[in-house]
Amino acid sequence: MKTIYKTALTAIAALFMFAACGNAGAKTAEKKEKTDKNVVELNSETFNKKVYDLTVEELKYLGDKPAIVDFTASWCGPCQRIAPILEELAKEYKGDIVIYKVDIDKERGLAQAFNVSSIPAILYIPTGDAEPVMTVGSRNKEKFTEEIKTLLLEK
């Protein structure tokens, strides 16, 4: 009798654990899908087509709107905290700026090209003659908004 009871409890516990893990995974995948819609992930090839062509000597910004490039990694806690903020900003400033992200683990060459040694590293790229600006460290939405206005949208 005790063996049947233990087996039944083990089976029920396993079902709850399986259901919980399966459900959590679904929510995580659903969340990731939602947060990746407006921030565009770049690899070396797309970076060379949309931002800077690193195969030529003279770098010239290729976009027609100001841009933010978030140098990030999946294991970086501060990077993960600012990801939803950048997603919100991409929605709010849609049509005015473009927000990209580069996974430094997948794109080590891009990280090296921009001397990224600490993350999150945020590259602000204005249009026109203004120079790009690299910042390092986490920030809140208000700080991002301030930097967008002063570094990218100020005329």
Residue 78, token pair as written in the block: 């501060």
Q: Which of 39, 76, 83, 116 is catalytic?
A: 76
Task: Output phi, psi for 38, to 5 deg.
Answer: -105, -25
Residue 77, token pair as written in the block: 């806690």
Same domain, 45 and 97: yes
Contact 110, 79 (CB under 8 A): no
Same domain, 21 and 95: no
Listed in sequence order, the residues at least 6 apart from 70 whose beta carbon sits closer than 8 Å to its beta carbon are 39, 79, 82, 83, 86, 99, 100, 101, 102, 120, 121, 122
Q: Is the pLDDT at 75 greater than 80, yes or no?
A: yes
- Which pLDDT belongs to residue 129? 84
Residue 66, token pair as written in the block: 């100001």
Same domain, 18 and 87: no
- Which pLDDT belongs to residue 76? 96
Same domain, 11 and 51: no
**Region of residue 115 (phi > 0: left; psi between -120 and 50: alpha; otherwise: beta):** left
The question of whether 79 is a catalytic residue gets the answer yes
- Which pLDDT belongs to residue 45? 96
Same domain, 44 and 63: yes
The question of whether 21 is a catalytic residue gets the answer no
Q: Which of 39, 79, 97, 148 is catalytic?
A: 79
Same domain, 21 and 49: no
pTM: 0.75
Same domain, 143 and 123: yes
CATH number, domain of 76, equals 3.40.30.10
Give the structural domain span for 144: 40-153
- Which pLDDT belongs to residue 32? 36
Q: Is the pLDDT at 103 greater than 60, yes or no?
A: yes
* Residue of higher predicted confidence among 95 and 25: 95
pLDDT band at 154, cuts 50/70/90?
confident
pLDDT digits (tens, 9 = 90+) for 16-48: 333 333 333 333 333 333 345 799 999 999 999
Q: Is the pLDDT at 52 greater than 50, yes or no?
A: yes
Residue 98, token pair as written in the block: 């473009």
